[in-house]
Structure 1
Amino acid sequence: MKFTEFGFSDQLLEGIEAINYETATPVQEQVIPRIINGKDLIVSAQTGTGKTASYLLPILQRILTEEPSDHVKALVIVPTRELAIQISQNLEGFSYFTSVSSIAVYGGGDGNTYANERQALSHGADIVICTPGRMISHLNMGYAKIKHLKYLVLDEADRMLDMGFHEDIMKIISFLPKQRQNLLLSATMPPKIRELAKKILYEPDEIFISISKPPARIVQQVFVVYQTQKIALVQHLLKMHNFPSVLIFCSRKENVKQLARELKRAKFSAEEIHSDLEQNDREQVLSRFRSRQLSILVATDILARGIDIDNISLVINYDVPHDGEDYVHRVGRTARAETDGIAYTFVGETEQRKFGAIERLLGEPVPRGIVPEELGATPTFNPGAAKRSVGRKNNSDKKRRSKGRKPKGSSTNSAPSKQPQE
């Protein structure tokens, strides 16, 4: 379906054409008409399916057909400032030829940033994209003109609940008028999302664009290793191929910091992004990664939700994702925009059971990669026994060390001795 078939205004179509949007994705085909018709919606779709445009475009269209006012008309709540910035940038492109105003509201800025947000909220920016904590700060001050708000969007709702934002979301909703259109978008649909939907949506339509398996054009491989071998394996794989754009996921920011430090020490073009960085530093890192000035980005999974970048040639799951849905979400960051991609997953000795569950959800095993012999002996993949045998693995490691066969790269503070040092 072409975007010209949705009945959008000429100004909106001009913006759509300017950013080279022509054909709607499946989620856009289903979501856009329902939003235009005023329906509440639950949308379950992975990142990369076009769901941001699926709600921004129809909301823009409806605002363009309404009488102008000095009140906020639409509120989009997201889990991270990176995602708020990304959506705001998309919105600026779509609305460039229209009179619709918008602002991204998120923490971490200086006094001038807060003052600009206050002015926009008190004068009624048409669309506000916000993170929960920052928005509550403004609402508590009483100047935000949201009494006539018509559209509420919860994007990445599953991630917001994972981050503990349930109470903040309900607090924000308590300030809003009861009569409004509600849209809930989520990559996954666990029971807690269902409970949230019951509280805030009215007779919603449900749209599921579920990607149960990664796209076929993604080359996947799994490397079964000891945790202490992971850094050396990352360096080996990066040296074997000249990947122009690499995104590495870690589950903990401590792992992000350690891996980024060792990659820099080995002279790779790498930077890190996690919650300890200042906002301006994060934005600069993301900007350099998008523009290919930076080749390798090491990020925590939560923050990576805000990284909407095409043409990533390699994704590495340094830590095993939480579940199958997260696995598909992570590896789906490559092979975007009809390109091919590669996804590597490292399975440590204590992560085998978790990855076994992921393979059961996918319905087939992920092909195994070959760990270089110079990295030393590796564990046997036995997910059923992984949890029970941790103690025995530790004992076997002791025997291996006593025989001089300790796996290389076992230091947690430095790269293996065979890797270049700074």
Structure 2
Amino acid sequence: MDFSSFNFESSLQEGLDAMGFDQPTPIQEKAIPVILNNKDLIACAQTGTGKTAAFILPVLNKISKSGSDKLNTLVLAPTRELAIQIDQQIQGFSYFLGISSIPIYGGGDGLVWEQQKKALETGAEIVVATPGRLIALLAGGKMDLSSLEHLILDEADRMMDMGFSDDILKIVNYLPKKRQTILFSATMPSKIRQFSMKILNQPEEISIAIGKTAEGVTQSMYSVYDTQKENLVKHILSQKSYEAVIIFASTKEKVKGLYKVLKKHFDVEAFHSDLEQIDREKIMSAFKNKAVKILIGTDIISRGIDVVGIELVINFDTPSDPEDYVHRVGRTARADKEGEAITFVNPKDQPKFARIEKLIGMSITQNPLPDDFERGPVYQGDSFKSNRKPAAHEKKAGSKPKSKGKKKFPPRQKPVQNPEAHQEKPKEDKTKNKQSQNSESNSSNISNSSGSSKFGNRKNVIEP
């Protein structure tokens, strides 16, 4: 089928034709008719499957058909990066419609606060917001949500992980009971199903290829020691002139350390929560425009960006959660393009990687280390036992040829008695709630979509 099968308004279809949208993705094909029929929906679809268009296009079509100039739709997103991304896509799809949207996300000063309130006064049909900042605006009594017809939760599982469930329930209390609620999630754990029952009314359910990676991704791994990782990254990046690469590390400290190593040789930037929002936006803009070729970050960017043309994803650290692997790999091979994903697996992470292979239903190819590297650990998957005695070639795990003679096993490579009990947890996990708050508190800029449209001036605020 193609997009004309949905019988969209001519102005919306004209925009899709201009953007080169011919055939819908599977999630779009299944979700759009449900939303057009005003049914509540729970949709499970991975990143990179076109889910944003799946919920935005039918909503835009309904707004265009009604001709209403009131606040119609609220989209909740876990991070400001995703909120900005959704807002930008709305602006692209609605180019010929005269429908506007406003992104509302955290700001650290009064200027940003005033900009957001002024944008709301001018009005928009769609508001894209992070929960924390929206709660603050609602508490101030400045938003009029009585005309709202659609509530959309994007990356619902991510919002649950970040501790936003109570905030979302507070927001729902401000909304009309008669509305259409749409929940999109990349995974569907039991807590999401339980939560959805509190805010959705007899929803239909759609699930698209849970746990599967895109067909266009070539996946491989290296079995390595931690001391080999930096030299291996440099080796890989020097083999080809890449236009767009993302390197994922487990903590922001590792991101900063790897950045210091790579910036001496490559065009690279580090993306982490310690940066000011304006700096994060500049880095992301430069990466999207190919002014920066290599981006190093934590899982904060595994769901929060949509960049077509990423050629290579390197997992510097094996993800702790198999589903995080799917999200990371989903950054490449988007829009039917091809891409490559390489994962570094140290001895203690071998059981983690075995669980990844089980989730995606395939064995990932193991690459041999370059000739001038020390021999790496033997990959044993789930059968790896950390109490085994190290082989002679494992007593030093550098990348340079070692001289003969006995050398002590490096302390951080000593085997432990219980690999599960001694596995390091990424520091991101320990500060998850703090980061979720920071993700809405360090903004220094906001896109203002308050320009006039064919509907003229709008008011989304309650007059004093």
TM-score normalised over the length of structure 2: 0.82
Residue by residue, what CA displacement relative to the aligned partner does 1:318-354 show, whole Å, maximum 9, x if unpaired?
1212333322222122122222211100112221111
Residue by residue, what CA displacement relative to the aligned partner does 1:103-135 show, whole Å, maximum 9, x if unpaired?
011113653332222123345421011111111
CA positional deviation for 1:392: 5.7
In 1: Cα distance, 2:212 partner to 2:301 partner: 23
Question: Is contact 1:220–1:367 with CA below 8 Å preserved after alignment?
Answer: yes
CA positional deviation for 1:377: 3.5
Question: Is contact 1:124–1:144 with CA below 8 Å preserved after alignment?
Answer: no
Q: Which amino acid aligns with 2:154?
A: D
2:362 is paired with a residue whose SS is coil
Q: Which moved more, 1:204-213 or 1:374-383?
A: 374-383
Q: Which residue number in structure 2 is paired with residue 190 of structure 1?
A: 189
Q: Which residue number in structure 1 is paired with residue 8 of structure 2?
A: 8
Q: Within 5 Å, give how 1:297-336 maps onto structure 2.
A: 297-336=295-334
Question: Is contact 2:44–2:210 with CA below 8 Å preserved after alignment?
Answer: no
CA positional deviation for 1:384: 3.2
Q: Which residue number in structure 2 is paired with residue 389 of structure 1?
A: 386
Cα gap change, 1:343/1:255 in structure 2, threshold over 3 Å: closer, same or farther? same
1:376 is paired with a residue whose SS is coil
Q: Which residue number in structure 2 is paired with residue 40 of structure 1?
A: 40
In 2: Cα distance, 1:98 partner to 1:217 partner: 34
Q: Within 5 Å, give how 1:154-165 maps onto structure 2.
A: 154-165=153-164
Question: Is contact 2:8–2:61 with CA below 8 Å preserved after alignment?
Answer: yes
Q: Which residue number in structure 2 is paired with residue 81 of structure 1?
A: 80
2:114 is paired with a residue whose SS is helix
In 1: Cα distance, 2:392 partner to 2:252 partner: 29
Q: Within 5 Å, give how 1:112-123 maps onto structure 2.
A: 112-122=111-121
Q: Which residue number in structure 2 is paired with residue 242 of structure 1?
A: 241
Question: Is contact 1:41–1:206 with CA below 8 Å preserved after alignment?
Answer: yes
CA positional deviation for 1:211: 4.7
Q: Which amino acid aligns with 1:275?
A: S
Q: Within 5 Å, give how 1:61-72 maps onto structure 2.
A: 61-66=61-66, 68-70=68-70, 72=71
Q: Which residue number in structure 2 is paired with residue 56 of structure 1?
A: 56
Q: Which amino acid aligns with 2:64?
A: L
Q: Which moved more, 1:391-400 or 1:194-203?
A: 391-400
Q: Which residue number in structure 1 is paired with residue 286 of structure 2?
A: 288
In 1: Cα distance, 2:356 partner to 2:23 partner: 33
Q: Which residue number in structure 2 is paired with residue 137 of structure 1?
A: 136
1:350 is paired with a residue whose SS is helix
2:194 is paired with a residue whose SS is helix
Q: Which amino acid aligns with 1:389?
A: S
Q: Which amino acid aligns with 1:367?
A: T
Q: Which amino acid aligns with 1:77?
A: L
Q: Which moved more, 1:48-57 or 1:253-262?
A: 253-262
Question: Is contact 1:313–1:335 with CA below 8 Å preserved after alignment?
Answer: yes
In 2: Cα distance, 1:163 partner to 1:170 partner: 14
Q: Which residue number in structure 1 is paired with residue 350 of structure 2?
A: 352
Aligned length: 406
2:263 is paired with a residue whose SS is helix
Question: Is contact 1:124–1:145 with CA below 8 Å preserved after alignment?
Answer: no
CA positional deviation for 1:312: 0.8
Cα gap change, 1:181/1:392 in structure 2, threshold over 3 Å: closer, same or farther? farther
Say whether 1:403 aligns with 2:413. Answer: no
2:221 is paired with a residue whose SS is strand
| Structure 2: tracts of 5 or more residues without a match | 414-464
2:307 is paired with a residue whose SS is coil
In 2: Cα distance, 1:368 partner to 1:111 partner: 53
Q: Which moved more, 1:138-147 or 1:160-169?
A: 160-169
Q: Which residue number in structure 2 is paired with residue 370 of structure 1?
A: 368
In 2: Cα distance, 1:276 partner to 1:390 partner: 38
Residue by residue, what CA displacement relative to the aligned partner does 1:153-212 show, whole Å, maximum 9, x if unpaired?
110111111122222222222222222111110111111111111111111110111154
In 1: Cα distance, 2:22 partner to 2:111 partner: 39
CA positional deviation for 1:374: 3.3
Q: Which amino acid aligns with 1:218?
A: V
CA positional deviation for 1:60: 0.9
Residue by residue, what CA displacement relative to the aligned partner does 1:42-72 show, whole Å, maximum 9, x if unpaired?
11111111110111111111112235354x2
Q: Which amino acid aligns with 2:386?
A: S
Aligned pair partner of 2:378 in 377, 380, 384? 380
1:283 is paired with a residue whose SS is helix
CA positional deviation for 1:255: 1.6
Question: Is contact 1:350–1:390 with CA below 8 Å preserved after alignment?
Answer: no
Q: Which residue number in structure 2 is paired with residue 93 of structure 1?
A: 92
Question: Is contact 1:107–1:133 with CA below 8 Å preserved after alignment?
Answer: yes
| Structure 1: tracts of 5 or more residues without a match | 411-422
Q: Which amino acid aligns with 1:277?
A: L
Residue by residue, what CA displacement relative to the aligned partner does 1:231-282 show, whole Å, maximum 9, x if unpaired?
11111110122222111112221221111221103x2100011111111111
Question: Is contact 2:45–2:51 with CA below 8 Å preserved after alignment?
Answer: yes
Question: Is contact 2:243–2:293 with CA below 8 Å preserved after alignment?
Answer: yes
In 2: Cα distance, 1:154 partner to 1:213 partner: 22
Residue by residue, what CA displacement relative to the aligned partner does 1:62-100 show, whole Å, maximum 9, x if unpaired?
112235354x21111111111111111110011112232
Cα gap change, 1:270/1:312 in structure 2, threshold over 3 Å: closer, same or farther? same
1:247 is paired with a residue whose SS is strand
State, as a whole percentage, how many aligned pairs show the same letter.
48
2:351 is paired with a residue whose SS is helix
TM-score normalised over the length of structure 1: 0.89
CA positional deviation for 1:286: 1.1
Question: Is contact 2:351–2:381 with CA below 8 Å preserved after alignment?
Answer: yes
Q: Which amino acid aligns with 1:352?
A: Q
Higher relative contact order (CA 8 A, sep 6+): 2
Q: Which moved more, 1:197-206 or 1:253-262?
A: 253-262
In 2: Cα distance, 1:285 partner to 1:201 partner: 38
Question: Is contact 1:109–1:279 with CA below 8 Å preserved after alignment?
Answer: no
Question: Is contact 2:322–2:352 with CA below 8 Å preserved after alignment?
Answer: no
Cα gap change, 1:212/1:304 in structure 2, threshold over 3 Å: closer, same or farther? closer
Say whether 1:29 aligns with 2:29. Answer: yes
CA positional deviation for 1:397: 6.5
Cα gap change, 1:199/1:236 in structure 2, threshold over 3 Å: closer, same or farther? same
